[in-house]
Structure formats: structure tokens, C-alpha cells
Amino acid sequence: MTTTDTSPRTAPTAEPAGSGSRIVPIARLHVVNRMQVLLVPAMILLFILLVNIVVWWLIVRSVTDPVDRADALDGLQWSGASFYVFVYAVVLGAQAVGFVFPYALGMSVTRRDFWLGSALAFVGLAALYGAFMTLFAVIEQATGGWGLGGRMFTVLYFGGEDATWYQRFGLFFAAFLFCFFVGAVVSTIYQRWRVNGMLVFFAALTLLLLGTAALITLTESWPAVGSWFAATGAGGVVAWSLVITALSAVVGFLLIRRSTPRG
């Protein structure tokens, strides 16, 4: 306090934020419920892995013809078994804004600090989830698909069978970051414009996707699109995803600065 009884008509000045930066506490806010951010996704992922291992074992046991078996296992490189965690990341991103934002404002933080703290949490969680997935990918690679030729963490779009661990980590990290921020920004649109915002956003998104698909179909350029993905490769797709991630981060920041949580 700089002002005391000496100047009774002036209000005491606000203390500078200084040491009281609340970005790290806000980041911690997102992970205070460890059940939700660590235990639950890990357990569900392990459960999916177990189910898959049983399925792989059944394939290995029941398909005796080596050609057929190779064919069946080859199809696993397209497995979407681990998609669940990415959907979970989108949900966490959405909840970060839907639930933690009103709580954080209740804890008297600024919207700016909330967004920066949340971004910090997203980066941390993406790194953690990414490391976890990388670990499993490396094990999967080393054990020849859990001894059964199965594939869940080394599927094609996560770098396939031959990627290095840091390539895998980069892919996973970027993918999680993308999911968190996209989930968060969609939720921010809701915070800012409520149901109408959602309707407009999803209508626009649908139109955009349909329009793009129609355009590609009309110009008969699907093969070109396919070859673009092939040419860009996993690394390129990651780079493009980061553009969208960064865009989401910026748009989300601008929107949340004008948002008010409503009861």
C-alpha cells in the first residue's frame, strides 16, 4: 500500500502484478484433478491395448495361412485404436474453457492469464501424453508388435514402423497440441456467442468442408490431393497442423478476452 491516511481522498493504488503472476497456478489448475488428466486416459488406453492384444492373438491363432495372416496384420497399420486419446484431448481442451474458465475467473484471474496458463498446461500435457505414446510405440516396435505383429502406436500416420523415437514424439506432441487447442477454441466460440455461435461455426465448417470436397471432386483433383499428402509426408502434415494450432491459439485468445462466463 502506498497510500494511507495522509491523502484521504485518493484511492489506494492497485499493487503491481509483479510476483503475483498467475499463469503457472492456472496451468496447475488444469491438472489438479489427476484422475481426470492422467489416470483415466492412461487406463482406458491400456484397456484398449489389452483388447487389441486379445484380438491380435485371435487373428494369429485363427488365420493359419501365412499369406492371409500377413495380409490381416498389414491392415493393422491403419488401426485407429489409439484415436480415443486424441478425442479425449479435444474434450479436455473444450472443458478447459467450458469449466475451468468460469472457475478461474471466480478465482479473480484475468482472461489473458487464463489463456496463457491454459496454453502452458496444453503444452505440458501434450508433451506428457506424447512421451507416453512414444514409449509405447518404442516398445511396440522393439517387441515386434507385442509379439503378435499388432500395431496400435506405430500405425502409418504416426510415422509407421521405421520412425525414430523423436520423430514419433514430434508427431504425437503436435497431434495432441492440435487437439487441445481445437477443442479449446471451439469451446471459446461457445463462451463468446453461446448456441448461436456454435450453430454458425459448425454450419460454416460443414460448408467449408463440403465446398472443398465438391471443388476437389468437380476439378477431379482427388489424386492430386492424395499425392500432396504423400509428398508432404508426416512431417509436412505436422507443420500444417501447427499452423492450425497456432491459429486456434490466437483466435481463442482474442475471443476469450471478450467473453463472460454465464451461469
Partner 1 sequence: MTAVIEAEGLSKHYRTVDAVDDVSFSIEENTITGLLGRNGAGKTTLMQLLTGQEFATRGTIRVFGESPVENAGVLQRLSFIKESQKYPDDFKPKHVFATAPWFFPNWDAEFAARLIDDFRLPLNRRIKKLSRGQLSAVGVIVGLAGRAPITFFDEPYLGLDAVARQIFYDRLLEDYAEHPRTVVLSTHLIDEVANLLEHVIVIDQGRILLDDDAESLRGSATTVVGTRAAVDSFVGGREVLHRDSLGGLASVTVGRLDPAERREAAELGLELGPVSLQQLVVQKTGATTSGIEQSA
Closest CA to 30 of 95, 106, 111, 87: 95
Interaction of residue 195 with partner 1, rule CB under 8 A: no
Among 113, 130, 152, 180, binds partner 1 (CB under 8 A): 113
CA distance 91 to 240: 22
30-69 residues near partner 1, rule: CB under 8 A: 32-33, 35-36
In the complex with partner 1, which residue's Cβ is closer, 91 or 237? 91
Percentage helix, strand, coil for the chain under 3-state DSSP, each rounded to 5: 80, 0, 20
Among 6, 14, 64, 218, binds partner 1 (CB under 8 A): 14
Examine residue 218 and tell whether it contacts partner 1 (CB under 8 A): no
Site for partner 1 in 74-103 (CB under 8 A): 95, 99-100, 102-103
Burial track 113-142 (b if 16+ CB lie within 10 A, e otherwise):
bbbbbbbbbbbebbeebbebbbebbbebbe
Comparing CB distances to partner 1, the nearer of 11 and 230 is 11
- Compare residues 102 and 149 and give the one whose CB is closer to partner 1: 102
Of 86, 119, 104, the residue nearest 252 (C-alpha) = 119
For residue 191, give the nearest of 240, 233, 252 by alpha carbon: 252
Cβ neighbours of residue 10 under 8 Å, at least 6 residues apart? 3
CB 190 → partner 1: shortest distance, Å?
13
CB nearer partner 1, residue 15 or residue 71: 15
CB of 178 to partner 1, least distance (A): 22
Q: Applying CB under 8 A, which part among 29-37, 141-149, 174-182, 215-223 lies near partner 1?
A: 29-37
Task: Map residue 203 onto helix, strand or coil.
Answer: helix
Contacting positions for partner 1 (CB under 8 A) = 3, 8-17, 20-22, 25, 28-29, 32-33, 35-36, 95, 99-100, 102-103, 105-113, 257-258, 260-263
